Amino acid sequence: MGEQTKVSARVTGQRDGADSGAPPVIDAAFARWLADRAGQELLRVRAQMGHADGKALKAAGDKAAHDLLRAELARWRPADAVLSEEDEHARVAWREGEPDTVRPDRLGASRVWIVDPLDGTREFSEEGRSDWAVHVALWTADSSSPACLSAGAVAMPAQHRTIATDNPPAYPPMPLESATGGAIRIAASRTRPPAFVTALAEDLGAELVPMGSAGVKIAAVISGEADAYVHAGGQYEWDSAAPVAVALATGLHASRVDGSPLVYNRADPKLPDLVVCRKDLAPRLLAAIGKQLRTQ
């Protein structure tokens, strides 16, 4: 089926479902719609359960958002593959020739939704915290977009904010401190900042800005609340695909910590490190990161 035919089929299906709240046809707007829907579901679960049992709240939130995303994708994008953090065996790397392993369908698909139903689960379970998010990204094999991420949305429902590639945020302004050689601000984990990032900040004389959720950290760089997000403590594709899609659409730098490109929908979904920052900071930051890597 050609792309135009597939789009026409989706349009027809969505017109048929107009009475039941049909989503946008365009993928980028659909990603925003989907992330917002899952975000509202998470707010509902949080309000319904309260915070007395954080473990139960985390589990209920993960399941509710995952089920909603899976159901809506099956309904409105039935031909597309999905890679979700909450899918069974999603973290397992597929290796050709190994016995008892089944090649994931997504590796032969031309369109793959990479989703994290609840990024920042710990923060979601803590009363009053707003640094958690829903990630929805679309990887397409023939995309000309950087990293083949043709659409992406990050919903931060407790902040009443969603950023997405259908209407990318403006490029963040350079703060006065950065422009005059002052300390830069690096978004970092509030509970487990990697030793690599702590050492990097000391070397640069940078300030670590603690917060939860990779999506919220990258959103902070996009909005100018932080100058950079550097991570080297282990992540998977769903942790970064959606916020990186928005950051790249905004015009920011995003790469592995060694400066190599970010690649998605691989046999091994582990994507352990990344750096997102304004382009003017990238040479300085990558040089300092390279120095840290050589000392490890």
C-beta of residue 219 within 8 angstroms of C-beta of residue 134 = no
286 is in an annotated binding site: no
**Amino acid present at 191:** T
**Amino acid present at 4:** Q
Measure the CA–CA gap between 125 and 33, rounded to whole angstroms.
24
Which residue, among 39, 131, 113, has the nearest Cα to 77 in the 3D structure?
A: 113
Q: CA triplet 289, 224, 37: central angle to 5 degrees?
A: 105
Q: How far is CA 199 from CA 74, 87, 128, 230, 295, in A?
A: 45, 35, 31, 12, 11
C-beta of residue 246 within 8 angstroms of C-beta of residue 35 = no
Helix, coil or strand: residue 143 = coil
116 is in an annotated binding site: yes
Number of helical H runs and strand E runs in the chain: 9, 10
69 is in an annotated binding site: no
Q: CA triplet 256, 261, 267: central angle to 5 degrees?
A: 90
225 burial level (CB within 10 Å; 0-12, 13-18, 19+): middle
86 burial level (CB within 10 Å; 0-12, 13-18, 19+): middle
239 is in an annotated binding site: yes
Q: What are phi and psi of 238, to 5 degrees?
A: -70, -15
Binding residues for Mg(2+): 85, 116, 118-119, 239
Residues tagged in the binding site annotation = 85, 116, 118-119, 239
